[in-house]
Amino acid sequence: MVGDEHVSMIPAAHTKVWNSEVNGQPQEVLAPSNAVLLDVLRDKVGCLGVKRGCDMGTCGCCAVMVDGQPRLSCLTMAQDVQGSTITTVEGLADGAHLAPIQQCFAEHGGSQCGFCTPGFLISSQALLDKNPNPTDAEISTAIEGNLCRCTGYQQIIQSIQAAAEIHRGDASPAKPASSAHSDPHPSGPN
Amino acid sequence: MTDGYVQQPGSNTDVRVDGKRVAGKIKFNPPGSGGSRPEMADRDMDFIPEVEGGNESQPAGQHLHDKYRTGTSVGKRTPLVDGNAKVTGQAWYGDDVRLPNEIIGRIVRSPHHYAKVKSIDTSKAEALPGVLAVSTGADAPQRFGVLPVTKDEHAMAVEKVRHVGDLVACVAAIDEPTAREAAALIEVEYEVLDAVHDPKKGLLDVDDPIHWRGQYHIGSTNVQKRVFQEFGDRSKLEQARATHHGKWKFMGVNHGFTEPHAVVAHWDSNGRLQLYTPQQVPHYAHRALATVLDVPMHQVNVIRTFVGGGFGGKSDPFPHEMCAAILARKAGRPVRITFDREEVFWVNRGRHPSHIEVQMFADEDARISGFEIDALIDGGGFASFGHVTSYYNGVLATAPYELGSFHYTGARVWTNKPASGAMRGHGAVNTRCAIEVGMDDLAEKLQVDPIDLRLANLLPPHSKTITGFRITSNGMRQALERVREGSQWDSKFRKLPLGKGIGIGCGFFISGSGLPIHWDPNKFPHATVHIQIDMDGGVTVHTGAADIGQGSTTAIAQVVAEVLALPLEMIHVRSHESDTSPVDLGSYSSRVTFMNANAAISAALEIREQLVDAASGILDMPAEYLILNDRRIYSKRDPAIGVSYLEALHKSQEDKGALIASGAYRTPPMGGVHKGAAAGLAPAYSFSAYVAEVDVDVETGLIKCTDVWAAHDCGKALNPLAVEGQIIGSCHMGLGQVLSEQMVYGRTGHLQNPNLLDYKIPSVHEMPNVTPIIIESCDPEGPFGAKEAGEGPLLPILPAVVNAVYDAIGIRINDLPLTPDKVWAAIAKKMKREDIAEAQDLPTPRLDFSELQQKIVQRSSQHGGRDSRRQRSEDTDPYINGVLFGFDPTVPPEDQDGDWKIAVRPTSEQLEGLGLAGSAWTKIEQRKMEDGK
């Protein structure tokens, strides 16, 4: 920060035990009592997929689900969500298998540089959990708090619509373009 | 969800203790055993060019890479190869690098616009428990800068601070609170100097210029660079039938990437620096680090993390990278520095705030008899890429139109603001906006359709611009025709009701800079790629190309996969570390696809040759009878006679082990000999045309862009999915600049909106519906015909929107962004001037064609035939700018006409009449002064 104003940082706030369920696992960490959820998740729990973009709730990169609701973790005091169930981008996949929303973002160009992607995934998954049949306008409303500088949002909306189709059961997930581990030794034409 | 979503093949049914699904085991299949896809796939004839017997049409002619097309990957919509890392949160950006024992660095920044640093007292900070290192400018006296000709930066202030937020000192401590506290304890004594904020004042002589360049300093002004260029015959301008005069003001804009800068520096146990940074241009950072830290380059390993958006804003070597390295060396522990969003604005390097004046002339035949451009650009506190920007503001306006004359004066001044630098569409965006709006105005004055006016004045493919740029492929005409058709232009233009408007804009941009920044006598290539294949068959591609989200890693993997006919999953691109990556100049000037993919193709061709030779030996069949397809090499006549890729590989590895090949790319020699001839030179140029439709609320001045038809000529879309993403993303960024984004400096020169709440990046609600249209003009030198698609698509959106606003309300506003307050003020002014009581009664412009319309339609249809002939022709006749004005294309125009001039300095008679930026030429360089200084 620039200027003379300074809020004394030391002594730091006393630490408190913080516990919640993060991505299906109980977590118990020591964190400063005034810590925001973003810092606890990144620095204490180790969920580095949660991104810090602006520190003031304007970019949406830090969105996580708290008890199923999308929240900006940079504006959420960790102590306020003590004991809740938190899902970050790392918890969206079904084990080793990508969730439809993840697969569709990758396939439809919903992610370019990828920094805003975790926040978008959380916002859109929260939407699809409630509404598997969203209109483009409803999608826009759901992701209006997320800034993306690369895609111009259009391919993000397409990704979410594609995932919604899978959620509704209208479409089966696209097969990968080629097998992930092709044998380099194929036989000739059959 | 029975199949799909397979991260790794294998069981879909096994679950973990938490109920989630387990990854399957990867089976390793010994050669010949079958495997997951035991049979070769058919050749994908839809992606093999006509000339090779496939179904892919080639309206723009053949390409020298056609015979290496295998139908594997090029031209197919391909998800990014690193996409899974990004959607799972595993992609590691700058701040995600966490090394054991790390400490946190903070930077002390100047609170003054301009001041001498008289003393720095670090003792209190050093005494604070938990502080491990403190550093000031005295620790790093060497200068650096991205351009070798303008090295004017230090890691931290050495003598002066030059803008609010300039670096003064830095500290490293065990945690962030301690580091912040220590930063506050550093006491700096300043002597405040008179600051310059208005770029116009930067042209004046002052007592204490922001930088001093010794004998090359221009007077005692703050002019960092001045440019004068005059080409062609200006004597005809007085007989112009229509003229346009536009005086523009462009606010500075920031890249607004979502990832703030972050850096981790670590001196390893052997004393080598390992520096992790989200850099677009790791190589220049590498050079600068070695200079500033005074270590040889081979003792520095620059590790590019994932880059959370660049757009030009992460392409300078940055002082905070030096600070982290200095702190880490002092503390003996890894240091991580992460910026607040505010600090991103202090380091800036965004688009230059600019004053641009254009005068444009059209003659009685609706030919463009001249462009006169004067651009004063505000460089802020440092040079950055400004030397180049100063040229680009003029020279990138010399196409796509054929000009009778071109006159450009440009100046870049230092002011006490955060430095401006390169941003997507570097240097070309603002001038392009001004001249495209000028074209619209000229069309109105000539009473012709603006698209037809453009179509009748285009340079053809394989031609030379007035300043000597070599244009090869050129899809401008198709781009204009496609957006005209797509937008139903003819039924809308000048026919829509008040408040609704439609507008056109074009773009022209370089596809790679013709000369490297470090003008190397050793003729190093621009890009080098190494390919290595060991017995397992996996192809490792080493490249220094920096993937900043644009998909360069994917493009490189695609071209290698295409040449070797292997699935994309067998290509592994390693591009993060300078230790293992051959030098690539980085992701700037839209060079990566063109240069790096060309280098990758040449390396892959070497590998291909070895594989085909081996197959030819095994099969006892001449190499030219063999084709490659999906992991096999076989006879053209009988696919059953062949060998697998792995068999051929193992055969060619006999006695030598891994196959290794290196490929490189250098630009061909080109360009004129005048001073500045190299600026704007490129091996290829991209062209684009956009039509935008807007709604303007005449009661509030609020503009909403509703639809955009965006045609971009990228030569050949290697990956249409990524090209469309670039086009739509460019629309977003350009719309921000034209409608809402601006860096607001208050009366005292202080930046008032260094955050993403007040700096207004368009959200999803502001985005129009964009219809991307890809034009493929097949560039003869591009990889498989490709050119750039990352920056050029940004240019046309600004003028298209401004022209559409005029179509909607009949008012031209030359002051971006077009925020509602400005638009409403302009509406109110017009209502007052024309005595209109209700905004709803504003007149809208209408078009009655003059006799010229028919003439230019006829001319453009003739040119259409000419262009399609020239596009396909293998060896085209010469065509120089000037043919439209009756010149012989085989002789330089200056030899044909005594009035045709080429000048890079004003004559003494001209000095009086020059514009704002041109007035920089009235000052004399120190070395030419009699008394010196």
Asked if the model's pLDDT at residue A180 lies above 70, the reply is no
Please check whether residue B388 is in contact with residue B365, taking contact to mean a CB–CB distance below 8 angstroms.
no
Binary contact (A114, B566; C-beta < 8 A): no
- Topology of domain A15-88 in CATH is Ubiquitin-like (UB roll) (3.10.20)
The Cα of A108 is separated from the nearest Cα of chain B by a number of Å equal to 7
**Single-letter amino acid code for the residue at B250:** F
C-alpha B81/C-alpha B91 separation (Å) is 12
Chain B's closest residue to A103, CA to CA, is B5
In the prediction, which pLDDT does A182 show?
62
Identify the domain containing residue B295 by its residue range. 94-193+273-308+314-347
Lowest mean pLDDT among A145-149, B120-124, B149-153, B326-330: B149-153
Question: Is residue B143 situated within a structural domain?
Answer: yes
Three-state DSSP class for residue B334 = coil
| CB-based burial label for B173 (10 Å; 0-12, 13-18, 19+) | buried
Residue B10: per-residue pLDDT: 42
Return the domain boundaries, chain A: 15-88, 100-168
Q: Is a pLDDT exceeding 90 seen at residue A4?
A: no
Instruction: Name the pLDDT band for B207 (thresholds 50, 70, 90).
Output: very high
Nearest CA of chain B to the CA of A81: how many Å? Answer: 22
Distance from chain centroid for Cα B346 = 21
Structural domain ending residue among the three candidates B630, B665, B700: B665
Question: What is the enclosing helix (H) or strand (E) of B529?
Answer: strand B527-533
Residues making up chain B, counted from first to last: 933
CATH superfamily of A100-168: [2Fe-2S]-binding domain (1.10.150.120)
Cβ contact B78:B156 at 8 Å: no
Q: Which residues of B touch A94 (CB under 8 A)?
A: 1, 5, 20-21
pLDDT band at A1; cut points 50, 70, 90: low
Give, as one character, the DSSP assignment of residue B794: G
Min Cα–Cα distance to chain A from B807, Å = 25
Angstrom distance (rounded) from CA B676 to CA B665: 23
Terminal C-alpha separation, chain B: 78
- To test the contact with chain A by mutation, choose from B2, B5, B20, B706 the residue with the greatest count of A C-beta atoms within 10 A, namely B5
Q: Do B729 and A152 touch (CB under 8 A)?
A: yes
Asked if pLDDT for residue B32 goes beyond 50, the answer is no
Closest partner residue to A184 (CB to CB) among B309, B644, B756 is B644
Given pLDDT bands bounded at 50, 70 and 90, which one contains residue A28? very high
**With the CA atoms of B45, B48, B51 and B53 taken in that order, what torsion angle do they form, in degrees rounded to the nearest 10?**
-20
A96 in contact with B, Cβ within 8 Å: yes
Over range B1-5, report the average pLDDT: 34
Q: Do A174 and B551 touch (CB under 8 A)?
A: no
Give the pLDDT mean for B436-440.
Answer: 98
Q: Which of B32, B38, B725 sits opposite A155 (nearest CB)?
A: B725
Report the residue of chain B nearest A167, measured CA to CA: B1
pLDDT at B552 > cutoff 50: yes
Closest-CA distance of chain B to residue A60, Å:
10
For the cut 70, the answer to whether the pLDDT of residue A70 exceeds it is yes
The tokens of A168 are what? 């509704």
Q: Is residue B896 predicted with pLDDT exceeding 70?
A: yes
pLDDT in tens, B562-586: 999 999 989 999 999 999 999 998 9
A5 touching B (Cβ < 8 Å): no
Distance, CA of B556 to CA of B534 (rounded, Å): 19
pLDDT for B296? 97
Q: In whole angstroms, give the CA distance from residue B181 to residue B173.
A: 10
pLDDT band (50, 70, 90) for residue B7: very low
Counting the structural domains of chain B, the total is: 2
Tell me, what's the pLDDT at A2? 62
In chain A, DSSP finds a helix count (H) and a strand count (E) of 5, 5
Rg of chain A (C-alpha set): 19
Minimum CA–CA partner of B176 in chain A = A9
Check residue B448 and report its DSSP letter: S
Sheet with B539-543, strands from edge to edge, namely: B571-574, B539-543, B527-533, B659-665
Q: What is the pLDDT of residue B14?
A: 73
CA distance B472 to chain A (A): 29
Query: Given pLDDT bands bounded at 50, 70 and 90, which one contains residue B24?
Result: low
Choose the closest CB to A9 out of B12, B177, B770. B177
Nearest to B767 among A93, A153, A189 (CB): A153
Is B765 within 8 Å of A140 when comparing Cβ atoms? Answer: yes
DSSP per residue over B198-229, as a string?
Answer: STTGGGS--SS-SS--GGG-BTTS-EEEEEEE
> Which among B3, B165, B184 has the least Cβ separation from residue A6?
B184
Averaged pLDDT, B224-251: 95
Residue range B744-791, pLDDT digits in tens: 999 889 999 999 999 999 999 999 999 999 999 999 999 999 999 999
**Disruptive mutation site among A44, A97, A156 for chain B (greatest number of B CBs within 10 Å):** A97
Tell me the C-alpha distance between B155 and B135, whole Å.
Answer: 10
How does pLDDT run across B592-625, given as a tens digit for each residue? 999 999 999 999 999 999 999 999 999 999 999 9
The shortest CB-CB distance from A190 to any of B39, B549, B757 is to: B39
Q: Indicate the pLDDT class of residue B5, thresholds 50, 70 and 90.
A: very low
Res. B4 pLDDT band, cuts 50 70 90: very low
| Pairs of CB atoms within 8 A across A/B | 330
> Residues with Cβ < 8 Å from B121, sequence gap 6 or more?
B186, B187, B188, B189
**Domain stops at, among B329, B347, B365:** B347
* pLDDT for the residue numbered A148: 97
pLDDT at B36 over 80: no
As a whole number of Å, the CA-based R_g of chain B is 29
> Given an 8 Å threshold on Cβ–Cβ distance, is A106 in contact with B80?
yes
CB B9 to CB A181 under 8 A?
A: yes
Which positions in chain B touch A31 (Cβ < 8 Å)? none
Given a contact cutoff of 8 angstroms between Cβ atoms, the answer to whether B344 and A1 are in contact is: no
Give yes or no for residue B31 having a pLDDT over 50. Answer: no
pLDDT category, B521, cuts 50, 70, 90? low
Q: Is residue B252 part of a domain?
A: no
* Contacts with B865 (C-beta within 8 Å, 6 or more apart), sequence order: none
Cβ pair B457, B883 in contact under 8 A: no
Residue B219 pLDDT more than 60? yes
* CA gap B711, B479 in Å, rounded: 5
pLDDT tens readout for residues B68-84: 999 999 999 999 999 99
Chain A hits for B20, Cβ within 8 Å = 24, 93-96
Distance of CA B432 to the CA centre of its chain: 15
**B277 lies in a domain?**
yes
Q: Is B545 left (phi over 0), alpha (psi -120 to 50) or beta?
A: beta
CB spacing of B4 vs A58 below 8 angstroms: no
Give me B483's structure tokens.
Answer: 């957006």
Q: Decide if pLDDT at B522 tops 70.
A: no
B409: nearest Cα among B706, B24, B806, B676: B676
Asked if B310's CB is within 8 angstroms of A180's CB, the reply is: no
pLDDT at residue B650 tops 50: yes
Q: Indicate the average pLDDT of chain A.
A: 90
Q: CB B95 to CB A180 under 8 A?
A: no
Chain B interface includes A12 (CB < 8 A):
yes
- Express each pLDDT in B331-382 by its tens digit: 999 999 999 999 999 999 999 999 999 999 999 999 999 999 999 999 999 9
Chain-chain contact of B260 with A53 (C-beta, under 8 angstroms) = yes
Residue of A187 and B685 predicted with greater confidence: B685
Is B171 within the bounds of a domain?
yes
Judge whether residue B169 has pLDDT over 60: yes
Residue B164 backbone phi and psi in degrees, to 5: -60, 130
**Could you tell me the CATH number of the domain that includes residue B110?**
3.90.1170.50
Q: Please check the confidence at residue B96 and state whether its pLDDT lies above 80.
A: yes
Chain A hits for B44, CB-CB cut-off 8 Å, are none
Confidence at residue B508, expressed as pLDDT on a 0 to 100 scale: 97
pLDDT of A164 over the 90 cut: yes
Element (H, E) at B802: helix B797-809
Interface mutation target, options A30, A64, A107, A183, chain B, most CBs of B under 10 Å: A183
Predicted local confidence at residue B33, as pLDDT: 43
Phi, psi of B326 (to 5 degrees): -65, -45
Which of A5, A74, A112 is best to mutate for the B interface (most B CBs within 10 A)?
A112
pLDDT, average across residues B629-633: 92
User: With an 8 Å Cβ cutoff, are B15 and A148 in contact?
Assistant: no
Do domains A15-88 and A100-168 share one topology? The answer is no
Q: Pseudo-torsion of CA B51, B604, A189, B24, nearest 10°?
A: -140
Residue B182 lies in a domain: yes
Q: Which positions in chain B touch A176 (Cβ < 8 Å)?
A: 4, 6
Whether A182 and B37 have beta carbons less than 8 Å apart is answered as yes
Distance CA B148, CA B288 (A): 10
Q: What token pair was written down for B301?
A: 């390993």
Which residue of B14, B17, B86, B797 to mutate against A (max A Cβ within 10 Å)? B86
pLDDT at B35: 54
Instruction: For residues B68 and B45, give the distance between their C-alpha atoms in angstroms, rounded to a whole number.
Output: 13
Q: Is B412 in contact with B213 (CB distance < 8 Å)?
A: no
B529's tokens: 């790629």
Contact A188 B632 (CB under 8 A): yes
